[in-house]
Amino acid sequence: MDEIALLVSRLSDAQAAVRASAAEQLYARGTELVAAVLNVWNQDPELKRLVAGPVTVGIAVEPERFVAIRAAWGNPPPADVPQEQQTIEFEIHSGEARLDILAPERDSAGSGPIDKFLARHGEEIQQVELACSDVFRATQILFQLAEGASAPKPIYAEPRRGANGATVNFILMPLKGGAKLLVELVQSA
């Protein structure tokens, strides 16, 4: 079991201190990943102003682990996720750490985005969410920057409705070594 998978498994530990430590370490890993993205984006003054809120690290887990983590954290309320995303989710806050726990709906039959991610990567950091004051404008700027292999790649031409009525768009960002990071821009409802 790799270190990230071990930390994910500890999110459902019976001991609160073990859970909190795992949450904080996963959050630190996610914020390290997105730091390189923000260094690039912050070179554009308008984009820097638009994307200037808290970071939430999204962790993809299997449905059984989702249930166990949720129970261990006192059954936080689930997010209201659009049906087409075939995803269930809730948030954990522990100290500075903000995690979004994501799992496929039980009836998604392997076709949802979290199902596909889990099949390729296992339980892992799936995305990093960034608060954004205007997802429409940020998407326009990112499309203007989208030239070359190291450019951001917005998933949708136009933002759409996300969890809890937020406006969202997903940006695929290349990282060093050929890896990619999925960044979700989130404008609260």
CATH number at residue 68: 3.10.180.10
- pLDDT, residue 179, reads 81
What is the tally of structural domains in the chain?
1
- pLDDT below 70 — which residues of the chain? 1, 108, 146-150
pLDDT computed for residue 84 by the predictor:
83
The domain in which residue 175 lies consists of 3-187
* Separation in Å, CA 49 to CA 3, 36, 52: 34, 17, 6
End-to-end CA separation in angstroms for the chain: 39
Phi-psi category of 23—alpha, beta or left, where left has phi over 0 and alpha has psi -120 to 50?
alpha
pLDDT value for 143: 81
| 172 Cβ contact partners less than 8 Å away, ≥ 6 residues apart | 152, 153, 155, 180, 181, 182, 183
Contact 131, 167 (CB under 8 A): no
At CA 138, angle to CA 80 and CA 148, rounded to 5?
115
Alpha-carbon span 104 to 83, nearest angstrom: 11
Contact 181, 155 (CB under 8 A): no
Sign of CA dihedral 90, 113, 159, 56: positive
Closest CA to 185 of 121, 141, 122: 141
pTM of the model: 0.92
Query: Is residue 102 classed as helix, strand or coil in its secondary structure?
Result: strand
Q: How far is CA 158 from CA 114, 143, 153, in A?
A: 21, 10, 12
